[in-house]
Amino acid sequence: MGVALLALNLRAFPSAGATLTPMTDELPRNRRTARFERGVARVLGGRAHDGSTLVVACSGGPDSTAALVASARARGASGELVAAYFDHGMRPPQETEMDRAAVRRIAAQVGGRVVCGATEGGAPPASEAAAREARYEWLARVCTEAGARWCVTGHTLDDQAETVLLRLTRGSGLAGVAGMAVEAPWPVPAGPPAPRVLRPLLSVRRRAVMDYLDALGVEARFDTTNELLAFDRNRVRHRVLPELRAMNPQVEARLARFADLARRDDDALEAWARRELSAIGTHDQGGIALDRAALRALPPAVASRVLRQAAAALGVGADGGQIDAMLRLARRAGARLSLVGGQFVVERAAVRLRRLDEGEPAAD
């Protein structure tokens, strides 16, 4: 992401940056709203009930609007609530202005403050990934300036199902197909201290969100770009999932269950790898040496994680293909592999990962 896109206008649109009134939530309260809000309160738990500021990423759409209202009610008067709206520059100005107005309106009803941002010059990002990166870079700045440790997003179980399918088509491993976690590290470089992502609606179906908004009497905005099949996620949502739903009406829930199982298994393998790294690894000569025989004796799923964890501990970049290459090269004494900011070397009794200082050439 270039500097120009990182210079995300934290410009204040009308009423942005000011505490809004009224502070009394006058939206309806009934059994339907209470059931939905109890689920959100369980997720927020002790994480966001300590009087600290909570940021909620809100586009004005159904999911994030529901997350905003339910989060406000779950916290009550505990700390400040900030609704953060980001304009990707991908839609007509009149539509985004109506989105901002919707966010301001609902934030006022629950006693929140609104902050709005946009890409520099309003230029649209080059891709879905670039748009996501720009949004999270800006949200990190909002959290830092507001002193917030948590940022709530409106991702639902339906989003989780879509994410799993997208990552499967891209050949992701367990960590990828585990999809999104309810609580997660910040997804792009930020901080320190970096905020954390909180997804209280991740076990909630999209239709339950619509039922909640109906019970509140709130009409959310709809992003017309969500209908464009030029975007991969939209193709999955509008073409792939309907076909799978014809085979299994509960396919979204089943995919989310698959993600939970993948996360459980991945967590277990990561813990195993951490123990092995501690047992067979030593820090020396500006790097980490791993006992070569012990590494090769490990199951590949564990050995690959040991190598990735060692590289991460040194701040050395290694993608999946490079990790696989290191596993293969570990069979050959004398083999070497250049990495981003580092080097992998196979010795007779050990394999060594070392970090290279800027401008330092890799050893021959």
Model confidence at 13, pLDDT cuts 50, 70, 90, reads: very low
Does residue 5 register a pLDDT over 80?
no
* Phi-psi label, residue 319: left if phi above 0, alpha if psi -120 to 50, beta otherwise: beta
The pLDDT, as a whole number, for residue 24 is 63
Distance of alpha carbon 259 from alpha carbon 17, whole angstroms: 38
What is the token pair recorded at 164? 């799993």
Class in CATH terms, 285-355: alpha beta
User: Do 285-355 and 3-254 have the same topology in CATH?
Assistant: no
For residues 317-332, give the mean pLDDT: 95
Distance CA 88, CA 96 (A): 9
Q: What is the C-alpha separation between 361 and 341, in angstroms, rounded?
A: 10
Per-residue pLDDT band for 12 (boundaries 50, 70, 90) equals very low
The mean-pLDDT minimum among 38-47, 133-142, 248-257 falls in 38-47
Torsion of CA 182, 185, 187, 192, to 10 degrees: 150
Give the model confidence (pLDDT) of 183-230 as tens digits.
999 999 887 889 999 999 999 999 999 999 999 999 999 988 889 898
* CA–CA distance, 82 with 65 (Å, rounded to integer): 13
Of the candidates 21, 122, 109, 95, the one whose C-alpha atom is nearest the C-alpha of residue 65 is 109
CATH number of the domain located at residue range(s) 3-254 in this protein: 3.40.50.620
User: pLDDT value at position 129?
Assistant: 85
Q: Where are the domains of the chain?
A: 3-254, 285-355
Gap between the Cα atoms of 148 and 72, Å rounded: 15
The model's pLDDT over 74-86, given as tens digits with 9 standing for 90+, comes to: 988 778 999 999 9
Assign 179 to helix, strand or coil: coil
Q: How far apart are CA 283 and CA 234, in angstroms?
A: 47
